[in-house]
A and B are shown apart, each in its own frame.
Chain A
Amino acid sequence: MIGDAKYHSLDPSKCIGCTHCMKSCPTEAIRVVNGLAVIDHERCVYCGQCHRACPTHAFYVEQDDLAMIRSFKYRVILFPSIMIGQFPGKYSEDQIYDGLKKVGFTHIYEVEQPMQVMIDSINEVLADKETPKPAISIYCPAIVRLIQGRYPSLTENLILRKAPHNLAAHFAVEQLMLEGALREEIGLFYATPCIAKIAAVKSPVGESESIVDGIVNMNQLYNEVMKVISDDVVDDNTVQRKNLSTEGINWSLTRGESCHFGSRSIAIDGIHNAVRFLERLENDQVKGIDFIEMRACDQSCAGGILLTGNRFMTVERLERRAKRYPSAKEIHLENNQENSQELKRKLILDPIVPKPHFAFGKDRVKAMEKMDKAQRIVCFLPGIDCGACGAPNCHALAEDMVNNKAKMSDCIFLQQKWVDEGRINARKAFLNIQKKWGTDRFKADCNKRGRRNEGF
């Protein structure tokens, strides 16, 4: 897929090989090899847990060059409302919008508009008797990838409607073309709060090609705006927010979606919470629920890894802001019905296919042999799940071994036992550990990697 492309990488000069990321990964996609973390992009769902867990900020997110916007006459910045929520309270929406113009954008669209179109569109899906329940929102791309890979039987529960960034993109294009712009003159740039949304734009699931032309990381955009933002009163630009609603502003927050749909709905945030819930869902232990909102980050997008502001303060500012806006129902588009019908049509996604990840390969007979072998290997391992072998737990190490990606001596406890039994000498055992974790790792040295100020 999930990752033929890489949207985040690891800076080897910063990685201290400490196992934090490996232990936090919900899909066991990280191993430590030669003292450095390595991401298996096949398994990665871009949830960003590893970024949060890393004490040295060694992970970084790929991004497009902001200079590329200059090649378009109409430069549209699309950003989720949470972008506004991060700014210190002293800056008004007018000043933030003015700052975005100064950065070089000609048109500003918060993505959660026109929200009634999205709400109606999802309600259409829910009203269809054929829709499997509970229907699961596709809003969070990390969740979509998690379901495709780990819970393939639930892909049919995903609601085939695009995310708000597509909504606003189509909306912006329509509006600009009505004003006389040519499609090729319009550049659409999405300010992303996370890696998952980058992947959703660059290699979308359920659409052949995304409408968005480029990505701007939200933390970079935040810094750019902070450089140029005015402390003085700027021109009133409220008119640019006339299609924004309470529902839209709250959409990216937890319960922002679920509160609109079905007679019974559930909202879940945090990837590990999602994993536990999907497990139950797949066992058919969740009955009578119509709609599930599920986001990989704690506090939903306010907790995105590319946000600068504190997630709880961001939520608070947004909730306050949302109250000042009209309800989505009260907003009337200029070209009204006709316009919305066209937008609705563009929101429909192609079917999403399961992409299960098989730890032991697709051939069932071989997989069973490997699994049997892995189960026997686990009997020899201590079950401490320490990570010193470079795998997140003993089971993962056993799986790696049968896939020829690790060996028995990677387990430091097993190796110690062998030394005790006289099967290998202590020197050889130590060399094995050095091979895994690096030669300078075990010196008493205050300047080495992983020294005290780099830990938690």
Chain B
Amino acid sequence: MKLTFNIQGGDFTHAGKPSSEVKKVLKQLNVDGKTVKNIVIALYEAEVNVVAHAWKGTVSAEIDENKITIFVEDDGPGIPDIELAMQAGYSTASKQVRDMGFGAGMGLPNMKKNTDELLIESIVGKGTKVKMVNYFK
């Protein structure tokens, strides 16, 4: 089963729609609450990253019996140093984004913490691809 969504860069008003929809499906599939929470937190962070940094992006979630695989891909500035970005508190978010309560530098660390597998590929000036896998208990 597959769900796909588009994300518009800069549109903080509507950030959270994909995570809410994915959550609804997972709950209906009797996935345990803790796992659903992890997935939703990771996906929301990924969404906000796209909104805060990139121009546009897509979310696609593939759900099977035992796991969910989420791809978040964007056209954006890319991440020059992924290792640095994975450090808690490291942020390149603009003042404008920080003033809106985002961009605290916890995005990638939070995604790492809440997923079983996290893979990030990025080309500077082109965009970033994120793959997240969570297994159901």
Q: Which residues of A contact B (CB under 8 A)?
A: 150, 152-153, 279-280, 282-285, 354, 356, 358-365, 367-368, 371-372, 375
Residues of B within 8 A of A358 (CB): 28, 30
Q: Are A153 and B36 in contact (CB under 8 A)?
A: yes
A284 pairs with B40, CB closer than 8 A: yes
| Bound CA–CA A358/B29 (angstroms) | 7
Residue B19 CB within 8 A of the other chain: yes
A2→B24 CA distance, assembly (Å): 20
Q: Are A283 and B16 in contact (CB under 8 A)?
A: yes
The answer on a CB contact under 8 Å between B28 and A360 is yes
**B88 CB, min distance to chain A CBs, angstroms:** 15
**A283 contacts B28, CB within 8 Å?**
no
Contact at B41–A368, with CB atoms within 8 Å?
A: no
How distant is the Cα of A152 from the Cα of B25 in the complex, in angstroms?
14
Which DSSP category, helix, strand, loop or mixed, fits chain B's interface? helix
Number of A-B contacts (CB under 8 A): 57
Q: Which residues of chain B come closer than 8 Å to A354, judged between CB atoms? A: 33
Residues of A within 8 A of B16 (CB): 280, 283, 285
Q: B44 interface residue, CB < 8 Å from A?
A: yes
Task: Pick the contact of A371: B19, B23, B29, B33 (CB < 8 A).
Answer: B29
- Min CB distance B69 to A, Å, is 14
Asked if residues A152 and B33 are in contact (CB atoms below 8 Å), the reply is yes
Question: Nearest CB to that of B45 among chain A residues?
Answer: A284
Range of interface residues on B (Cβ < 8 Å) = 20 to 34
Known pairs A153-B36, A363-B30. 7 more at Cβ < 8 A? A283-B23, A356-B33, A358-B28, A364-B30, A368-B29, A368-B65, A375-B1
B37 to A282, Cβ gap below 8 A?
yes
A residues near B1, Cβ cutoff 8 Å: 368, 371-372, 375
Which B31-74 residues sit within 8 Å CB-CB of chain A?
A: 31, 33-34, 36-37, 40-41, 44, 63-65
- Asked if A367 and B30 sit within 8 Å, CB to CB, the answer is yes
B136 at the interface (CB under 8 A from A): yes
Q: Tell me, in angstroms, the Cα distance from A150 to B23 when the chains sit together.
A: 11
Interchain CB contact under 8 A, B28 and A367: yes
In the complex, whether B27 has a CB less than 8 A from a CB of chain A is: yes
B20 CB within 8 Å of chain A: yes
Residues of B within 8 A of A356 (CB): 27, 30, 33
Q: How far is the CB of A402 from chain B (nearest CB, A)?
A: 11
Known: A364-B65, A365-B65, A367-B30. A283 touches B41 (CB 8 A): yes
Q: Which residues of A contact B25 (CB under 8 A)?
A: 371
Known: A284-B44, A368-B65, A372-B1. A153 touches B30 (CB 8 A): no
- Chain A residues within 8 Å of B28, by CB: 358-360, 367, 371
Give B67 Cβ to nearest chain A Cβ, in Å. 11
Chain A residues whose C-beta falls within 8 Å of the C-beta of B34 in the assembled complex: 153
